[in-house]
Amino acid sequence: MLAHDRHGQAALCAVSASGVWVRFADGSVRLDGSSGLWNANLGHGNTAIAGAVGEAMRDASYLSSWSYENTRARAAARVLVDLAGPEHYSRVLFSTSGGAANEVAMKLARHYHTLRGEPDRKVVLGLRDGYHGLTYGAFALTDANLGQRMYGVDRRLVGHVPANDPDRLVTVLQALAGRVAAVVVEPVLGTGAVPLTAEYVGALLNARHEHGFLLVADEVSTGYGRIGNSVFETAGWPERPDVLITSKAMTNGTLAAAALVVSRSIAAEFAEQGAVLGHAETQAGTAVVGAAVVATAAELCRLDAVANSRRLGKHLDVVLARLVGDHPLVAWSTGAGCLRAVHLTGAAGAPLPPAEVDAVVSAIRDAGALVHPGPGCVQLVPALVYTEDRLDELVSLVSAGIAAHERAR
């Protein structure tokens, strides 16, 4: 969020973006190291996506998915199921943001268990340090202390367990036996770029069989090739989640859009009982969104973005290790593929406080790159269309900004 004392500054007012560059009102141009808030995986200004959106705006300016359907939304749903895995998934629910989609997932899980005669399954568990949005339901699921108590966010049916701690997961689920509707996880926790270990994923899957909850994968950050293993990171899990959430990169950030891709077994339960989920959004699943989804998927394939992400991730392993050795402030880096965090420590090895992390981000911006702050870290989320040379340039600018902050301390 932009602090009040920084409102109106020309250096912070973007006017255009192209490829991996953003131009500001003061005339400066900076390298985008955040993919436009994790959105523009394919870079800014993709003409194929823009053309598809423009055509849909001319031909079907507003056709919704509320009480009826439209052909572009149908096509987008087919594309999303195909990308996620049609052998497991079958239906799509459109939404308008990652936060709203997480709320739909919570409602879906509770409704599903009620249909199966278990109305007391209302508890939803998330992970410590997980981030799922700031609308009220998603705000409860987001673990970071961002004012939930002040805003009156209701957490009575939401809890959190630590990531990568199978024993604690088992203990909590045993204590809540018969009450957990869903466990919601990010394959890589976005705020600190912490990947879930294979051991922990295995424990989650085993616990799902034992305790009967739905497993929801929030792939808002990790989807569309971000990690470099596949379009969706959970495709490499031994078993798929029950619900997959995607947003951001599914339209390359061009529209406020999200979707839940739902397993065949869940869809069948609703269909067999003629149940209709109590949720609708007037801007969800419009024809324009559908056109953007289809075009983005085609461009993802044409640009071979997943394979490029994998190559860039291997290069990041090397250059970030070098960055750790170059600066007293840089303690370590975490993450995978093109979703990374550079962790910063100060006195006695304590994580840098938020105000100082913000100062580091500002210094990096002054050096010529756009990055985001995280808890005690700087987040690096380059577009999947970077070259290795451009990636070297990004890390060099990050290094220059960190060095400038170290000199000024």
pLDDT (tens place) for every residue of the chain, 409 residues total: 666 677 888 889 999 999 999 999 999 999 999 999 999 999 999 999 999 999 999 999 999 888 889 999 999 999 999 999 999 999 999 999 999 999 999 999 999 999 999 999 999 999 999 999 999 999 999 998 889 999 999 999 999 999 999 999 999 999 999 999 999 999 999 888 999 999 999 999 999 999 999 999 999 999 999 999 999 999 999 999 999 999 999 999 999 999 999 999 999 999 999 999 999 999 999 999 999 999 999 999 999 999 999 999 999 999 999 999 889 999 999 999 999 999 999 878 899 999 999 999 999 999 999 999 999 999 999 999 999 999 999 999 999 999 999 999 8
Sequence length of the chain is: 409
Residues 212 and 297 in one domain: yes
Are 22 and 123 found together in one domain?
no
Q: Pick from 287, 290, 309: which is nearest to 300 by CA?
A: 309
Give yes or no: residues 313 and 296 share one domain: no
Residues 125 and 54 in one domain: yes
What are the C-alpha distances in Å from 406 to residues 37, 200, 349, 351? 26, 37, 15, 15
Calpha distance 65→73 (Å, rounded)? 7
- Report whether 33 contacts 340 (CB < 8 A): no
Q: Is residue 39 part of a domain?
A: no
**Do 256 and 324 belong together in one domain?**
no
Domain boundary among 244, 267, 302: 302
DSSP code at position 353: P
Q: What is the domain extent for residue 332?
A: 4-32+304-408
User: How many domains are contained in the chain?
Assistant: 2
222 and 284 in a single domain? The answer is yes
